[in-house]
């Protein structure tokens, strides 16, 4: 057997040049019968190696290069499953000692060497270094020590990369081995599959070492010879036949079976006297059945569904998996942690009956096969969202319950994408960093393989040169290459046996234990992964309920609330959905204006409609128009009617794909789900055509005309992969409804919780404005009233609730600082700034931030005076001046004469200080320039909402509007074909501006500014307004630089009332205002308005 016993793949993370698949493929073509994967400090590629080797008929061998304490590698190969477990233990130990630089000493190998083969390692190893330096006595001592540790399983490795000195070194090694009676073994020390991969390997080496290709380094390759070779090629380089025989003996001795082919769930906890998990699962389901389905007819239907599901679950031996998930959910509920199952699991009535999901699959006609069927390999996905604030509690409990050695998080493989590949490659090829930044900005987020599509963009930035071609080539070569290992957002592995028997366990940057495999690989090991996801909206809802109970003295009946509350749907239909889960974006508001949801099922459609699948497939308009009776519902074939009836003939849910494949193309439900899964994975034309053949063939066999079958397949192929499953949409719709319900009935508590957790994407300024629009006042942070979190308060019981911002909302004031203030306040409220400073002794930046943020306004009068007082007190309380103990009746630290008569902050300064300290101002910045804007006839945004469409025909023009606002959102979604959406806001509301690509080209510099004046036709649809930008001007010179973000206000805390426009801009502005203008003798532009001449309104730019 010809074996390659030492090969690194790109799972050595920047230390190997090819994938395990590429290595195995080349091995197969070269006649290599056994291939060992020995990545640096890990077995990351083991599952992939197993898969590809099984396919190609090669024997996989699992091993690793373990880094010793001097940084040199030692090659270990697993002889048996016990050997593999020992390898994993050693790797775990190394990773837990040093996360970034895992190492072990020879002494540490100790008891974990059984059933492991040890190879001395190739170039760079300790032995090879000694031989290269001709320190042969030391080399002999090392060999003797390793033989003591590994006994007969220890071999001297001979490899040849056609480097200068390799032949001589091998001759010395062979003689040393013979002298010490240690067997030699031939290895390839492979770093990449084929010679052409050498460039990628060198590039990755440079990236790893932080070099450019022009820098020399001993770890860089000097040729392209570290590739896989055939037996003949190897024998030419290593003329020692015994070394090849030994390699074959090792390969034959390695017998590791890691992949069981079935799921091994963790042990569930059964009640006393019960020893059959399946029976227990059935009894739990039956008990819930009568509670959740009180009506006999529905119960009978549900019972039949339940029995059918139970049969599949028990057949697949997944009963313990379901019981384990139920255990976790029950524990979370017991601890009052909000959780909600989502994803395809909501298709299962068993999951519903166990309380894992909250969506009734009978009522919503959900399809179990989308979740699980007998043909499915591996564990089904059960994703559960938990309150993001308390998810760690759930994880800690799971570790305790299932065992610290049996639980860890799943890894995520972070592979190169276009921008990351471009950045790393360009830096390595010596492009200057500012140019690299510009190049990265010139390409979108895409796969590295698509780099040539954006060649012109890059040439425009970097210029044409031969190096650009090299760069494109290298970026292309990084497609799919892993860069580093990340942490899965929530995939928790639960194992029946200790994890070290299957995988090394590393520690992530934030201290979380993580296995070396991603979710697919974990499944191959038969391990169960359970997605414990953190959802900030659940944290918001949970906190809102706590605030309500604390302030009102009774719990809000959220979970019992009926799902048809008219006030909730009124709010949603009116598009007042800022802060509502999933439907708060401007795009969703636009869709709401068209869709006008009336019942809960409409919310399910609403959530599913706003996805790339329906949007790109052009399904939104037909759906909305058909729903509103504006066009007839049309089915391409009568068989599609029962499947698509409730979505008006439009494909909206993944389950419908499955049903179409079943009912229309004649596939079994299991085949149909496989078809759906394949369609979402394979996008290459060949695979697509094969699936088209299967689909169309099945449909034609059932009597469907070929043209119709083709047309239906086209619609299916456009949708798959980018749409929601109905169960997922239904689970999300419930959270949509609940968040809207809280916003309607408890706006203050809900918005306070929302500001605390910020699950959406609007800035704080917008959230505060939204609260004000709902009649909820926002109170500034106050040293005597504010706590650590957002809270609500009111003076008397008949007054409305107001939101009190916490001390920690002030920049530089951490939760710990705020907690210290609150703890000190428990003794007594603060009577003065001096009292506060003496009792709390805050750091300078904290005290000054509190003063500037208005937290002392109640004690000091205003922020400027408070800041002065703080300055005086900080100086007087400084350690060098405060070494004598103070008596209670001593004179105050600050005398009245210490504080001069300070001018109060003007409104501009006040807003600037507010922004700089706590992210939003007490008044909207646009109010400060409203008079100037009125003079220029720039209308408030609220004007748009008072305008009504007078269009009789589609061709009638829309009304024109000139308005202005601060930019709160700027988006260019990939589904919008280059259109940019800019949302602007003023004190009267917000509005979306649509900037078409051709307008972007002209106005790009302006529309990327922080505040804008815009002009164009206004689209009116129900309560939604959108302005199609035809002209835009920067508002910077009017608004004085308030960018809507505190960081941008630094240094510009006064608004400028005089505009700075070029003459061309002024002409355009004046034209837009439909007013005459003239330039006076001082070069000022005078605009004639309906009132008196406004000579100071605008002036010509002087620079």
Partner 1 sequence: MRMYLEPIRAEGDPRRPRRFVWRKHILDVREILERWISQTQWWNQEERRVYMRVLTGEGIVEVYRSGERWTLSRIMD
Binding site for partner 1 (CB under 8 A): 162-168, 198-199, 202, 213, 220-225, 429, 467, 470
Residue pair 515/505 in contact (Cβ under 8 Å)? The answer is yes
How far is it, in rounded angstroms, from Cα 1018 to Cα 968? Answer: 19
How far is it, in rounded angstroms, from Cα 364 to Cα 362? Answer: 6
Helices 391-402 and 319-334 sit at what angle, rounded to 10 degrees? 130
Residue pair 748/803 in contact (Cβ under 8 Å)? The answer is yes
Question: CB 26 → partner 1: shortest distance, Å?
Answer: 19
Question: CB 195 → partner 1: shortest distance, Å?
Answer: 9
How far is it, in rounded angstroms, from Cα 303 to Cα 349? Answer: 9
Selection from 806, 770, 751 nearest residue 541 by Cα: 751
Q: Which tokens sit at 1027?
A: 């302005």
How far is it, in rounded angstroms, from Cα 1039 to Cα 1049? Answer: 11
Nearer to partner 1, 16 or 781 (CB): 16
Task: Please calculate the CA angle 446-449-454 and round it to the nearest 5 degrees.
Answer: 65
Nearer to partner 1, 463 or 705 (CB): 463
Helices 455-462 and 466-477 sit at what angle, rounded to 10 degrees? 140
How far is it, in rounded angstroms, from Cα 37 to Cα 49? Answer: 8
Rg (CA), the chain: 34
Task: Please calculate the CA angle 326-330-335 and round it to the nearest 5 degrees.
Answer: 150
Question: CB 199 → partner 1: shortest distance, Å?
Answer: 5
Question: CB 483 → partner 1: shortest distance, Å?
Answer: 21
How far is it, in rounded angstroms, from Cα 355 to Cα 353? Answer: 5
Q: Which tokens sit at 1042?
A: 């308030």
Question: CB 123 → partner 1: shortest distance, Å?
Answer: 13
Nearer to partner 1, 196 or 460 (CB): 196
Nearer to partner 1, 221 or 486 (CB): 221
Question: CB 164 → partner 1: shortest distance, Å?
Answer: 4
How far is it, in rounded angstroms, from Cα 1086 to Cα 1103? Answer: 19
Question: CB 167 → partner 1: shortest distance, Å?
Answer: 6
Nearer to partner 1, 163 or 972 (CB): 163
How far is it, in rounded angstroms, from Cα 1028 to Cα 1050? Answer: 32
Nearer to partner 1, 214 or 953 (CB): 214
Residue pair 259/47 in contact (Cβ under 8 Å)? The answer is yes
Question: CB 162 → partner 1: shortest distance, Å?
Answer: 4
Q: Token match 């001096």: residue?
A: 834
964 - beta bridge partners? 1013
Question: CB 430 → partner 1: shortest distance, Å?
Answer: 9
How far is it, in rounded angstroms, from Cα 981 to Cα 579? Answer: 19
Question: CB 225 → partner 1: shortest distance, Å?
Answer: 6
Question: CB 174 → partner 1: shortest distance, Å?
Answer: 16
Task: Please calculate the CA angle 195-196-200 and round it to the nearest 5 degrees.
Answer: 110
Cα dist from 137 to 121, 133, 151, 180, whole Å: 18, 11, 20, 12
Percent helix, strand, coil in the chain, to 5, is 50, 15, 35
Nearer to partner 1, 117 or 198 (CB): 198
39 - beta bridge partners? 64
Question: CB 138 → partner 1: shortest distance, Å?
Answer: 25
Question: CB 755 → partner 1: shortest distance, Å?
Answer: 52
Q: Token match 């109010």: residue?
A: 927
Q: What is the 3-state secondary structure (H, E, C) of 27-83?
A: HHHHCCCEEEEEEECCCCCHHHHHHHHHHHCCEEEEEEEEEECCCCEEEEEECCHHH
Nearer to partner 1, 163 or 626 (CB): 163
Give the burial string for 895-916 (b: 16+ CB within 10 Å, else e).
Answer: eeeeeeeeeebeebbbbbbbbb
Question: CB 458 → partner 1: shortest distance, Å?
Answer: 16
Nearer to partner 1, 223 or 336 (CB): 223
Question: CB 453 → partner 1: shortest distance, Å?
Answer: 22
Question: CB 466 → partner 1: shortest distance, Å?
Answer: 8
Per DSSP, the three-state class of 177 is: helix
How far is it, in rounded angstroms, from Cα 736 to Cα 200? Answer: 48
Nearer to partner 1, 158 or 748 (CB): 158
Per DSSP, the three-state class of 964 is: strand
Nearer to partner 1, 153 or 428 (CB): 428
- H-run or E-run covering 868: helix 863-876
Nearer to partner 1, 175 or 794 (CB): 175
Question: CB 10 → partner 1: shortest distance, Å?
Answer: 18
Residue pair 3/251 in contact (Cβ under 8 Å)? The answer is yes
Residue pair 548/749 in contact (Cβ under 8 Å)? The answer is yes
Question: CB 224 → partner 1: shortest distance, Å?
Answer: 5
Nearer to partner 1, 168 or 300 (CB): 168
How far is it, in rounded angstroms, from Cα 519 to Cα 529? Answer: 7
Per DSSP, the three-state class of 119 is: strand
Nearer to partner 1, 164 or 1005 (CB): 164
Nearer to partner 1, 344 or 425 (CB): 425
Nearer to partner 1, 470 or 1000 (CB): 470
Nearer to partner 1, 284 or 467 (CB): 467
Q: Which tokens sit at 704?
A: 């469907």
Residue pair 1002/1033 in contact (Cβ under 8 Å)? The answer is no
Nearer to partner 1, 423 or 595 (CB): 423
């Amino acid at each position: 057997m010809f074996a390659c016993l030492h090969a690194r793949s790109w799972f050595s993370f920047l230390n190997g040049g090819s994938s395990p698949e590429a290595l195995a493929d080349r091995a197969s073509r070269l006649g290599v019968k056994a291939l060992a994967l020995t990545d640096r400090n890990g077995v990351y590629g083991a599952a992939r190696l197993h898969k590809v080797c099984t396919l190609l008929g090669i024997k996989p061998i699992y091993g690793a290069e373990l880094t010793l304490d001097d940084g040199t590698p030692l090659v270990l190969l697993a002889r048996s499953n016990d050997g593999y477990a020992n390898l994993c233990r050693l790797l775990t130990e190394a990773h837990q000692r040093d996360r970034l630089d895992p190492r072990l000493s020879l002494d540490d190998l100790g008891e974990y060497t059984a059933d492991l083969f040890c190879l001395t390692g190739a170039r760079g190893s300790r032995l090879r270094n000694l031989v290269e330096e001709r320190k042969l006595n030391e080399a002999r001592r090392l060999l003797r020590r390793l033989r003591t540790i590994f006994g007969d399983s220890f071999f001297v490795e001979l490899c040849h990369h056609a480097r200068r000195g390799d032949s001589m070194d091998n001759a010395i090694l062979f003689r040393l081995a013979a002298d010490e009676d240690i067997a030699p073994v031939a290895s390839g020390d492979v770093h990449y599959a084929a010679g052409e991969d050498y460039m990628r390997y060198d590039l990755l080496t440079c990236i790893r070492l932080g070099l450019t290709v022009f820098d020399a380094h001993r770890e860089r390759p000097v040729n392209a010879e570290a590739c896989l070779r055939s037996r003949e090629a190897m024998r030419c380089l290593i003329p020692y036949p015994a070394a090849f025989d030994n390699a074959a003996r090792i390969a034959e001795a390695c017998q590791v079976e890691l992949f069981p082919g079935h799921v091994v769930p963790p042990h569930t906890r059964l009640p006393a006297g019960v020893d059959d998990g399946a029976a227990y699962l059935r009894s739990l389901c039956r008990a819930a059945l009568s509670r959740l389905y009180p009506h006999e007819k529905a119960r009978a239907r549900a019972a039949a569904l339940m029995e059918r599901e139970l049969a599949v679950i028990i057949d697949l031996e997944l009963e313990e998996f379901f019981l384990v998930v139920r255990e976790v959910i029950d524990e979370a509920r017991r601890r009052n942690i909000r959780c909600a199952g989502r994803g395809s699991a909501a298709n299962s009535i068993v999951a519903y009956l166990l309380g894992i999901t909250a969506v009734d699959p009978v009522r919503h006609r959900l399809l179990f096969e989308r979740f699980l069927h007998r043909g499915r390999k591996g564990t089904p996905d059960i994703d559960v969202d938990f309150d993001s604030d308390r998810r760690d509690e759930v994880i800690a409990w799971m570790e305790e319950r299932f065992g610290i050695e049996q639980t860890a998080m799943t890894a995520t493989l972070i592979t190169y994408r276009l921008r990351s590949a471009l950045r790393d490659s360009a830096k390595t090829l010596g492009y200057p960093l500012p140019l690299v930044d510009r190049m990265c900005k010139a390409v979108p987020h895409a796969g590295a393989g698509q780099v040539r599509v954006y060649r012109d963009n890059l040439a425009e930035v970097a210029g044409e040169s031969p190096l650009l071609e090299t760069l494109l080539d290298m970026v292309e070569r990084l497609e799919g290459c892993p860069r580093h290992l990340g942490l899965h957002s929530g995939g928790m592995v639960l194992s029946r046996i200790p994890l070290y028997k299957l995988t090394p366990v590393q520690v992530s940057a934030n201290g979380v234990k993580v296995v070396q495999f991603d979710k697919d690989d974990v499944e191959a090991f038969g391990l169960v992964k359970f997605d414990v996801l953190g959802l900030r909206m659940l944290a918001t809802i949970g906190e809102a309920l706590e605030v309500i109970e604390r302030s009102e003295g009774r719990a809000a009946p959220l979970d019992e609330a009926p799902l048809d509350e008219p006030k909730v749907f009124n709010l949603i239909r009116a598009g007042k959905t800022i802060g509502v889960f999933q439907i708060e974006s401007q795009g969703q508001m636009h869709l709401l204006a068209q869709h006008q949801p009336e019942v809960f099922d409409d919310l399910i459609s609403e959530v599913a409609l706003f996805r790339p699948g329906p949007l790109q497939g052009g399904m939104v308009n037909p759906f909305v128009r058909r729903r509103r009776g504006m066009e007839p519902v049309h089915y391409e074939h009568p068989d599609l009617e029962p499947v698509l009836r409730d979505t008006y003939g439009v494909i909206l849910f993944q389950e419908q794909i499955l049903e179409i494949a079943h009912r229309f193309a004649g596939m079994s439900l299991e085949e149909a789900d496989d078809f759906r899964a394949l369609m979402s994975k394979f996008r290459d034309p060949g695979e697509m055509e094969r699936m088209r053949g299967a689909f169309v063939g099945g449909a034609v066999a059932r009597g469907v005309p070929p043209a119709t079958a083709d047309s239906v397949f086209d619609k299916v192929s456009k949708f798959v992969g980018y749409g929601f499953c109905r169960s997922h949409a239904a689970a999300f719709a419930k959270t949509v409804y609940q968040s809207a319900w809280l916003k309607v009935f408890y706006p203050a508590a809900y918005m306070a919780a929302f500001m605390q957790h910020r699950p959406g994407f609007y800035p704080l300024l917008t959230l505060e404005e939204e609260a004000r629009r709902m009649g909820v006042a926002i109170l500034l942070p106050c040293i005597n009233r504010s706590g650590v979190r957002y809270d609500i308060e009111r003076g008397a019981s008949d007054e409305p609730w107001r939101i009190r911002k916490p001390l920690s909302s002030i920049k530089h004031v951490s939760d710990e600082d705020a907690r210290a203030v609150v703890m000190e306040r428990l003794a007594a409220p603060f009577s003065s700034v001096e009292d506060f400073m003496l009792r709390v002794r805050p750091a300078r930046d904290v005290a000054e931030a509190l003063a500037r943020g208005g937290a002392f306004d109640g004690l000091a009068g205003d922020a400027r005076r408070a800041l002065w007082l703080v300055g005086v007190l900080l100086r007087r309380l400084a350690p060098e001046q405060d070494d004598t103990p103070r008596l209670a009746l001593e004179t105050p630290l600050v005398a009245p004469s210490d504080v001069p008569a300070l001018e109060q902050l003007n409104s501009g300064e006040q807003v600037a200080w507010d922004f700089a300290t706590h992210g939003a101002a007490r008044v909207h910045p646009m109010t400060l320039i409203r008079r100037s804007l009125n003079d220029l006839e720039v209308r408030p945004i609220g004007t748009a909402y008072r305008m009504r469409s007078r269009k009789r025909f589609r061709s009638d023009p829309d009304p024109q509007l000139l308005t202005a606002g601060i930019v709160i959102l700027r988006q260019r979604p990939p589904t919008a074909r280059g259109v940019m959406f800019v949302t602007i806001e003023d004190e009267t509301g917000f509005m979306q501006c649509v900037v078409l690509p051709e307008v972007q080209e002209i106005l790009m510099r302006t529309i990327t500014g922080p505040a804008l004046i815009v002009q164009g036709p206004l689209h009116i649809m129900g309560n939604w307004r959108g302005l199609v930008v035809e002209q835009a001007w920067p508002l910077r010179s009017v608004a004085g630089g308030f960018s809507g973000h505190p960081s941008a206000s630094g240094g510009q805390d006064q608004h400028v009332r005089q505009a700075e426009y070029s003459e061309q801009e002024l002409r355009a502005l004046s034209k837009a205002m439909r007013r005459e203008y003239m330039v006076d003798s001082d070069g000022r532009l005078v605009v004639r308005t309906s009132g008196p001449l406004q000579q100071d309104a605008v002036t010509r730019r002087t620079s």
